[in-house]
Amino acid sequence: MNSDKQRLGHNFGRQAAQYDRYALVQRRLADQLIQTLAKQLDNFNRILEIGCGTGYFTNLLRQTFPGAEITALDLSPAVLQAARTRLGEGAGITWLVADGEQELPGSFDLITASSVFQWFTHPEHACRLYWEHLQPGGMLAFTSLGPLTFQELASSFSQVGTRFPELTPPVIPAQGFARGREWGDYLQRAGFSEIFWQDDLWLENYTDAWTFLRAVQGMGATSTSPAFLPRRLLTEVIKHYEKYYRNNGTIQVTFEVIAAEAKKF
């Protein structure tokens, strides 16, 4: 596991106890994905969940497919323990501390993930890996976040950086996320058929910019290469955000939401 993945696992693991308090959009994405899967006519006997987190989506999978053998993996031991605690030891799930971009344990009828793939280092390689580990007729289905996620924050950092060139703004991790059409290309080149992807913008509201930033930190969804932020820079960014993205008593936050599914024949 490379150092970026280790830091990513550490970031989420450190916030495992409070992740669910802040991950409101992530829960909505999981709800949307399970509704899609529940409509499938396929018989998912063996399911692999990549990046199970604290187990919210894992629990939905268990409830929707009670007869399936489920393997749930995550980078972070602390996060995985939170999932095991949520579901209980008798849930009939195999838990693995593992990197979902590395070698996988066997073959599956369904490989799925909610709000995870945006963090991949080599997403095209991951799609090929999943194709190899799916049974013929198997399905890959996931939700992810795209690069327009937190675009208001990215714009605020950029504008402040222009006005104060002596203050170097950081790169927002979301700006490096893959777009929906890129995921479509990755899936096609990996050999998948019946590829579907959809890209939407969800606008969420927070009381103020500080509340939003605390929520991001509270989930652990922060950079794996943290940079020192001068207090002056952060103060100016907050001012810009509040000035240009406050409306009707709240601030706006964009999430670019990607949903994709594909079959192996």
pLDDT tens for 28-50 read 999 999 999 999 977 899 999 99
- Contacts of 100-105 with C-beta under 8 Å, sequence gap 24+, read 100/50, 100/51, 100/73, 100/75, 100/126, 101/5, 101/125, 101/126, 101/129, 102/1, 103/129, 104/48, 104/129, 104/130, 104/133, 105/48, 105/71
Residue 50, beta-bridge partner list? 73
- pLDDT of 143 > 80? The answer is yes
Fold that domain 3-149+175-205+256-263 belongs to in CATH: Rossmann fold (3.40.50)
Q: What are phi and psi of 109, to 5 degrees?
A: -90, -25
Query: How far separated are the first and last CA of the chain, in Å rounded?
Result: 31
What would the mean pLDDT of 102-125 be, rounded to a whole number? 95
Residue with tokens 């993930």: 113
Task: Extract the runs of DSSP E, i.e. beta strands, from 75-130.
Answer: 93-97, 108-114
Place of tokens 């409070």: 18
The 3-state DSSP class for residue 101 equals coil
Rounded CA-CA distance 156/170 in Å is 11
Task: Name the one residue in this structure whose structure tokens are 């070698």.
Answer: 103
Under DSSP, the state recorded for 215 is H
> Could you tell me the two tokens for 188?
């096609």
What are the sequence ranges of the domains in the chain? 3-149+175-205+256-263
- pLDDT at residue 96 in the model: 96
| pLDDT at residue number 2 | 55
* pLDDT above 70: percentage of residues in the chain: 90
* Model confidence band, residue 224 (pLDDT cutoffs 50, 70, 90): very low
What's the confidence (pLDDT) of residue 163?
86
Q: What is the mean pLDDT of residues 78-99?
A: 92
What are the structure tokens assigned to 17, written together?
A: 């106890």
Alpha-carbon gap, residue 209 to 20, rounded angstroms = 20
Mean per-residue pLDDT of the chain: 90
Across 211-229, average pLDDT:
70
Tokens 């980078």 — which residue? Answer: 75
Query: Residue 221 — pLDDT band, cuts 50, 70, 90?
Result: low
For the chain, give the percent of residues with pLDDT over 90: 74
Which of 124-138, 158-172, 251-265 has the least mean pLDDT?
Answer: 158-172
